[in-house]
Copies of this chain bind each other. A is one copy, B any other.
Amino acid sequence: MSLLLKFAISILLVFLSNTIEIESVEQIYSLETRYIEVPVDHFSALPSPKYFKLRYLINSKYHVRGGPVFVYTGNDGDISIFAQNTGFMYDIAPVFNALLVFIEHRYYGQSLPFGNSTFSSPDNMQYLTSTQALADFAFVIEHLKKSFFENVISYDTHPFVAFGGSYGGMLAAWLRMKYPYSVIGAISSSAPMFYFPGMTSCELFYDKVTQVFEKYGHDQCVKTIKLGWDVIINLSKTKLGMDFISTTWKLCGKLKNSEDTEMLLNWLGNIYVNIALTNYHYPTDFYTPLPAYPVKVFCDKLTTSYFNDTKGLIEHFSHALEIYTNYTGKRVCNNINSSIDDYTEFAWDYQQCTELVMPKCSTDADMFITKPWDFEKYSMNCFKKFGVKTFEPDWAVIAYGGKNLRHYSNIVFSNGMMDPYSCGGVTGNMSASIWAFNISDAPHHIDLRNSDVADNNYVFSARAFHIQAIKQWLNMV
C-alpha cells in the first residue's frame, strides 16, 4: 500500500540525479505549499484543544475561475510524492479548468501532530486513524471554500472532486461517503474497500499474485518459485548454506539464524507481490526501475534446468531477483530489513495494526509458503510492536458499512483485474451512481498515472470513464 511512496522516492532520486539544473519539486509541478492549523482530535472537547500544521499543495496553473477543485486525499506518505505521481489529475485539469489540491495525511510527510515526538508513544500516535484523517480533509476543504474562493458562497459553483489511489482511494471514497457535502464525487482507484476481516477470503490476495505469475510467466515459473522456498529453507539449516545465499544474493548482512531466514523469506515474498502489483505494460519506476512486464522478464530468468541443482537454482534466482533489486545495476547490496528508521513504514504498519487489518494467508494452491491467517497472533504481534490494540474485526463494518454501499452516490471504483488488491476491491456497481470499472489486464492503479504512449485501450477507456463520470457530477453532460 505504500507503493506510490516507494515509487516516487525512486523517481525523485532518478530525476534529481539526471538533472543538471535542479529545480524544486514545487517549481516543476507548479505547486504552492500551504499549511493549515487543524485539531489533533476532531472528536473531543478538551479544555485546551491542540492544533497542528497540516500541509497541502496547490497547483493553480490550469485553474480558470468557475472551474472545479480536484483534491487528492493523501495516503501513507509525503504528499509531495503523491502530487508528483498522480499525473491523471494534471492531464485532465485543463479540460475542466480545475484547481489541483493535494492534502497530506496526518502523521506522514511534514504533517506531524507532535513534531519530533509524534511517534514516541502510543498516546501521541492514537490520533493516527482514517476517521481523523477524513475530518482533516473535510476541514481543509471547508477552509478552502471560504478562503480561496473569497467571493463565492455557493457550494455548487466550486464543487470539489476527490481522487485517490490504493489507501488514498479508500479515503477518497470514504470522504464522499461520510462528508458528501465536501466532495461531489470520488475517483477511487485500486482501493481494497472490502479487504477487511470477514469480508474477503484471506487466500485471494496471494492467489491473485500467483495468477499474475501464471499468466505472464512461462509454464514452469510458479513451480520453480515454489521449489525455491524449499531450497532456501534447506540451505538455511547450515552456516555454509546461509553464507552461500548471503553471498550469491548480495545481502548487505549475512544470514545468521532462523530469524534472519524468516526475514529473507518475507523479503522474497514481498518482491513477488511488488512485481505483480507493478506488472505494467511499459517500463516504470514504481517501487524501483523495472522493465515492461517485469513478471515475464523475472520468470524468463528462471528456467527449469536447475531442478536438481540446488546451488544453481539459487544463482539463477539471483539473476531473476536483480530485475527487481538492481535493474539499473547500481545497487551494491540488498538490505532485507528496510523498515528500520523509516517513519512512513512505521506509521503505515501502525495503521495496518489498528484499523486497516487486511488478512492475508497462503495455501497449497498458491506459490507462497503455506501460512494460515491468525487474527489473535496478528493482534498480539501488533501489541508487542506498538503497544496498541488491533481494532475489533467488525470495525470496517461499523465505521464504513462493510459491503453495504448501496446508500451512497457518485463514486467510481476502478480496479485492475491483474492487481492482487482487486480481490478486495469494489468490482460491481453498488447503486445507481456507485460504479465499478474493471480494467482488464491491468496492475495496481495504473489509471491514475499520467497518460503514456504505450497505454493500451483498457487504460484509455478507464480514464475516459472517469472523465465522463466527473462531467456528469458537474452537470457538464
Binary B-proximity of A381-413 (CB < 8 A = 1, otherwise 0):
001000111010010011101101101110000
Q: A139 to chain B: which residues have CB within 8 Å?
A: 398
Contact flag A394-B142 (CB < 8 Å), given A180-B401, A181-B407, A402-B181: yes
Find A43's partner among B43, B45, B49, B402 (CB 8 Å cutoff).
B43
| Inter-subunit contact B138/A389 (CB<8 Å) | no
Contact flag A131-B43 (CB < 8 Å), given A138-B398, A142-B394, A404-B155: yes
- Which of chain A's residues 431-459 have a Cβ closer than 8 Å to chain B? none
Rounded to whole angstroms, the CA-CA distance of A45 and B389 in the bound complex is 6
A329 at the interface (CB under 8 A from B): no
- Which of chain A's residues 129-151 have a Cβ closer than 8 Å to chain B? 129, 131-132, 135, 138-139, 142
Residue of B nearest to A405 (CB): B181
> A interface, by DSSP: helix, strand, loop or mixed?
loop
Rounded to whole angstroms, the CA-CA distance of A281 and B262 in the bound complex is 78
| Inter-subunit contact B129/A401 (CB<8 Å) | no
Q: A122 to chain B: which residues have CB within 8 Å?
A: 45-47
A123 at the interface (CB under 8 A from B): yes
Rounded to whole angstroms, the CA-CA distance of A470 and B180 in the bound complex is 24
Contact flag A401-B179 (CB < 8 Å), given A407-B409, A409-B407: yes
Contact flag A355-B126 (CB < 8 Å), given A142-B398, A178-B178, A181-B404: no
- Which of chain A's residues 178-197 have a Cβ closer than 8 Å to chain B? 178-181
Rounded to whole angstroms, the CA-CA distance of A387 and B401 in the bound complex is 36
A83 at the interface (CB under 8 A from B): no
Contact flag A45-B125 (CB < 8 Å), given A142-B394, A398-B138: yes
Binary B-proximity of A260-281 (CB < 8 A = 1, otherwise 0):
0000000000000000000000
Binary B-proximity of A142-185 (CB < 8 A = 1, otherwise 0):
10000000000001000000000000000000000011110000
A128 at the interface (CB under 8 A from B): yes
| Inter-subunit contact B180/A407 (CB<8 Å) | yes
Find A123's partner among B46, B49, B399, B407 (CB 8 Å cutoff).
B46
Rounded to whole angstroms, the CA-CA distance of A180 and B180 in the bound complex is 12
A80 at the interface (CB under 8 A from B): no
A114 at the interface (CB under 8 A from B): no
| Inter-subunit contact B402/A129 (CB<8 Å) | no
Binary B-proximity of A337-353 (CB < 8 A = 1, otherwise 0):
00000000000001000
Find A129's partner among B43, B132, B178, B350 (CB 8 Å cutoff).
B43
Q: A47 to chain B: which residues have CB within 8 Å?
A: 122, 383, 387-389
A44 at the interface (CB under 8 A from B): yes
- Identical chains bound together, number: 2
A127 at the interface (CB under 8 A from B): yes
Rounded to whole angstroms, the CA-CA distance of A143 and B387 in the bound complex is 27
Binary B-proximity of A319-334 (CB < 8 A = 1, otherwise 0):
0000000000000000
Number of contact residues on A: which range applies? 35 or more
Q: A178 to chain B: which residues have CB within 8 Å?
A: 178
Rounded to whole angstroms, the CA-CA distance of A123 and B45 in the bound complex is 9
A415 at the interface (CB under 8 A from B): no
Q: A59 to chain B: which residues have CB within 8 Å?
A: none
Q: A210 to chain B: which residues have CB within 8 Å?
A: none
A414 at the interface (CB under 8 A from B): no
Rounded to whole angstroms, the CA-CA distance of A178 and B132 in the bound complex is 15
Q: A387 to chain B: which residues have CB within 8 Å?
A: 47
A422 at the interface (CB under 8 A from B): no
A354 at the interface (CB under 8 A from B): yes
Rounded to whole angstroms, the CA-CA distance of A83 and B471 in the bound complex is 48
CB distance from A163 to the nearest CB of B (A): 18
Contact flag A401-B43 (CB < 8 Å), given A49-B389, A394-B142, A407-B409: no
Using A43-B131, A142-B394 as known contacts, list a sample of 18 further A-B pairs with CB atoms less than 8 Å apart, ordered by residue number in A: A42-B43, A42-B131, A43-B43, A44-B126, A44-B129, A45-B125, A45-B129, A45-B389, A46-B122, A46-B123, A46-B389, A47-B383, A47-B389, A135-B399, A138-B399, A155-B404, A180-B408, A181-B402
27 A-B pairs whose Cβ atoms sit less than 8 Å apart in the complex: A41-B43, A41-B44, A42-B131, A44-B126, A44-B127, A45-B126, A45-B128, A45-B129, A45-B350, A45-B354, A45-B355, A45-B388, A45-B389, A46-B122, A46-B388, A47-B122, A47-B383, A47-B388, A49-B389, A135-B398, A135-B399, A138-B399, A142-B397, A179-B401, A181-B402, A181-B404, A407-B409
Closest 8 CB pairs of A and B: A180-B407, A181-B401, A45-B354, A181-B404, A44-B126, A47-B122, A47-B387, A43-B43
